[in-house]
């Protein structure tokens, strides 16, 4: 199997980038997209050229590192899958693919396909802590949590912070990410004492990091590899209003 | 403490709430405005003339209402434009290859909200100059009638004369089509901002917004169309 690749190459944060064309040959349909990039990089290294920089870690769809847009779609064409879980059988033999880093002001490109996602870290840091007693680990099930609530909190906690929501959004908005993080703690009893403060601080950090604002088009939800629902954004909007009302 | 409230109102979500609340208030106003206008079809000029006369009988209430509406509109514009400006800044570079529109949920109505809103604003200004300030056609001001011996402004005749001009009716219809487009996205978005959207209700909310937008479009458009086609006669 053969693919034609147009890959974004950029030396550093401040340098101008451009597309370079590569032909990837000797591929099999069962290779993952990242394995295909490994093949390309092996060849580049042997030729004494700079390999394409891209982030990867677990390669099993749970770490959120493999951030890149394939043909303008974050994580490529498949529903509910990270780039590492996209296999070459999703493409036609001989197809041309354009591979780009995340595009958003809050995610500046550092090198090739790698964008700086530390804007997300500043939001998580702003969220602060949950109140947990020190001392010995508490007994399991010491705090009763209903199945329904546990499931909902887990749905929100699925977010792996990959940034595909920001990358897909026309406005570079991080509201799906922030909503998932605000909600998974806000649903659980351990997250209640700081709930109002948490949503206020995380939204303030989100605004300060230069992300845009949700205009209710839900491209985020469509590309999210963990299929986080945009309904969480609604819940965050409500939580935020309650938080403001408590200040009055 | 109060500075915290101010900054919360000015935050991204705070402004989204302002846009949604002012949007609902404006929808409420135009709905009432439309039902009032539909009295053009009452079969007698007296009905809408009496209605307009009633609205103008309490100048304090009328002006309080007008100033309130101006404030609501101003807040809506401030909120949307400041959010839109940030949105453009937050996405300085587009992808070289655009993703599939169907997957990325790009709809024509949702990406043209600022354009549709701006044209509607321009229309509202013209509409006020036309029928409220009556400076577009000076003859409107002298149109008088009497119902039950009470002298009053002849709104019925003014509307017919106004919409007999195909340019004015055409602009009116274009503005109403854009209002439909604006509300199809806007009315559904209100539910998300208020946190009332739910996966199971998405279809219902979208259908509801579509029906509301269509009802307003048909209701408002029926009047210039009625005048042009002769359903509403002098």
Mean pLDDT over A187-205 rounds to 94
Residue B6 has pLDDT above 70, yes or no: yes
How many Cα atoms are found within 13 Å in the side-chain-facing hemisphere of B205?
A: 20
Read off the pLDDT of residues A79-134 as tens digits, 9 standing for 90 and up: 999 999 999 999 999 999 999 999 999 999 999 999 999 999 999 999 988 877 78
Give Cβ neighbours of residue A189 (< 8 Å, ≥ 6 apart).
Answer: A143, A145
Residues of chain B in contact with residue A215, where contact means CB-CB under 8 angstroms, are 83, 87, 110, 113, 189
Evaluate whether B56 touches B151 at the Cβ level (below 8 Å).
no
Residue with tokens 């309650």: A242
Read off the pLDDT of residues B124-166 as tens digits, 9 standing for 90 and up: 999 999 999 999 999 998 999 999 899 999 999 999 999 999 9
Q: How far is B66 from chain A (nearest CA, A)?
A: 28
Q: Please tell me the distance from the alpha carbon of residue B22 to that of residue B71, in angstroms, as a whole number.
A: 9
> Which fold, B2-90+107-228?
3 helical TM bundles of succinate and fumarate reductases (1.20.1300)
Evaluate whether A65 touches A14 at the Cβ level (below 8 Å).
no
Q: How far is A116 from chain B (nearest CA, A)?
A: 14
User: Residue B3 — very low, low, confident or very high, per pLDDT cuts 50/70/90?
Assistant: confident
The terminus-to-terminus CA distance of chain B in angstroms comes to 61
Read off the pLDDT of residues A174-187 as tens digits, 9 standing for 90 and up: 999 999 999 999 99
Residues of chain A in contact with residue B12, where contact means CB-CB under 8 angstroms, are 175, 203, 206-207, 213
Interface of A with B in 98-157 (CB under 8 A): 98, 100, 103-106
Read off the pLDDT of residues A43-76 as tens digits, 9 standing for 90 and up: 999 999 999 999 999 999 999 999 999 999 999 9
Residues of chain B in contact with residue A100, where contact means CB-CB under 8 angstroms, are 95-97
pLDDT at position B1, please?
A: 54
Residues of chain A with CATH 1.10.1060.10: 118-247
Q: Please tell me the distance from the alpha carbon of residue A18 to that of residue A1, in angstroms, as a whole number.
A: 26
Asked if A170 is an interface residue toward chain B (Cβ–Cβ < 8 A), one would say yes
Mean pLDDT over A6-24 rounds to 97
* 8 Å CB contact of A244 and B14: yes
Residue with tokens 């870690």: A57
User: Residue B233 — very low, low, confident or very high, per pLDDT cuts 50/70/90?
Assistant: confident
Q: How far is CA B76 from CA B9, B79, B186, in A?
A: 13, 5, 12
Mean pLDDT over B26-53 rounds to 96
Q: How far is B212 from chain A (nearest CA, A)?
A: 18
Q: Please tell me the distance from the alpha carbon of residue A183 to that of residue A236, in angstroms, as a whole number.
A: 7
* 8 Å CB contact of B90 and A203: no
Q: Report CA dihedral (B101, B102, B108, B110) to the nearest 10 degrees.
A: -100
Asked if B83 is an interface residue toward chain A (Cβ–Cβ < 8 A), one would say yes
Which among B123, B132, B125, B131 has a CA at the least distance from the CA of B161? Answer: B131
Residues of chain A with CATH 3.10.20.30: 3-110
Residues of chain A in contact with residue B93, where contact means CB-CB under 8 angstroms, are 103
Read off the pLDDT of residues A200-246 as tens digits, 9 standing for 90 and up: 999 999 999 999 999 999 999 999 999 999 999 999 999 999 999 98
Q: Please tell me the distance from the alpha carbon of residue B154 to that of residue B151, in angstroms, as a whole number.
A: 9
Give Cβ neighbours of residue A96 (< 8 Å, ≥ 6 apart).
Answer: A3, A4, A5, A6
Residue B154 three-state SS = coil
* 8 Å CB contact of A72 and B14: no
Asked if B181 is an interface residue toward chain A (Cβ–Cβ < 8 A), one would say no
| CATH superfamily of the A118-247 domain | Alpha-helical ferredoxin (1.10.1060.10)
Mean pLDDT over B207-224 rounds to 97
Q: Could you give the percent of chain B with pLDDT greater than 70?
A: 100
Residue B83 has pLDDT above 70, yes or no: yes
Structure tokens at A217: 């088009």
* 8 Å CB contact of A105 and B111: no
Evaluate whether B86 touches A104 at the Cβ level (below 8 Å).
no
- CATH number 3.40.50.10090 is the correct assignment for the domain at A3-110: no
- What is the average pLDDT score of chain B? 95
* 8 Å CB contact of A173 and B90: yes
Residue B152 three-state SS = strand
């Amino acid at each position: 199997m053969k693919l034609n690749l147009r890959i974004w190459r950029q030396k550093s944060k401040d340098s101008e980038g451009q597309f370079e064309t590569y032909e990837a040959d000797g591929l099999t349909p069962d290779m993952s997209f990242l394995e295909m990039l490994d093949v390309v990089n092996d060849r580049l290294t042997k030729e004494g050229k700079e390999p394409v920089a891209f982030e990867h870690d677990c390669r099993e769809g749970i770490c959120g590192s493999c951030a890149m847009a394939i043909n303008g779609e974050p994580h490529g064409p498949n529903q509910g899958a990270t780039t590492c879980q996209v296999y070459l059988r999703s493409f036609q033999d001989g197809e041309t693919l354009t591979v780009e880093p995340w595009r958003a002001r809050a995610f500046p490109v550092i090198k090739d396909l790698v964008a700086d996602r530390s804007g997300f870290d500043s939001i998580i840091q702003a969220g602060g802590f949950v109140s947990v007693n020190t001392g010995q680990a508490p007994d399991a099930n010491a705090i009763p949590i209903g199945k329904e609530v546990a499931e909902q909190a887990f749905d929100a906690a699925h977010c792996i912070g990959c940034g595909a929501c920001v990358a897909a959004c026309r406005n570079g908005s991080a509201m799906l990410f922030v909503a998932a993080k605000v909600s998974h703690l806000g649903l659980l009893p351990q997250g209640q004492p700081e709930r109002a403060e948490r949503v206020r601080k995380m939204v303030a950090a989100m605004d300060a990091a230069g992300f845009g604002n949700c205009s209710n088009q839900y491209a985020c939800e469509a590309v999210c590899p963990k299929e986080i629902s945009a309904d969480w954004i609604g819940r965050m909007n409500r939580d935020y209003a309650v938080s403001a009302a408590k200040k009055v | 403490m109060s500075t915290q409230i101010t900054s919360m109102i000015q935050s991204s979500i705070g402004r989204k709430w302002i846009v949604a609340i002012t949007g609902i208030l404006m929808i409420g106003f135009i709905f009432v405005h439309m039902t009032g206008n539909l009295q053009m079809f009452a079969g007698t000029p007296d009905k809408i003339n009496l209605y307009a006369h009633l609205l103008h009988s309490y100048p304090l209430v009328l002006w309080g209402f007008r100033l309130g509406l101006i404030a609501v509109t101003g807040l809506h514009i401030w909120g949307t434009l400041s959010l839109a400006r940030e949105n453009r800044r937050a996405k300085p570079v587009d992808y070289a290859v655009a993703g599939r529109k169907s997957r990325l949920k790009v709809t024509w109505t949702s990406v043209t909200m600022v354009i549709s809103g701006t044209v509607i604003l321009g229309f509202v200004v013209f509409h006020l100059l036309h029928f409220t300030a009556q400076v577009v056609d000076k003859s409107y001001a002298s149109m008088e009638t009497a119902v039950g011996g009470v002298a009053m402004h002849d709104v019925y005749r003014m509307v017919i004369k106004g919409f007999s001009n195909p340019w004015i009716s055409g602009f009116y219809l274009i503005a109403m089509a854009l209002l439909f487009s604006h509300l199809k996205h806007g009315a559904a978005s209100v539910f998300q901002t208020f946190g009332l959207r739910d996966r199971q209700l998405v279809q219902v909310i979208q259908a509801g917004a579509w029906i509301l937008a269509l009802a307003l479009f048909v209701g408002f458009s029926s009047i210039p169309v009625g005048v042009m086609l002769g359903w509403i006669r002098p």
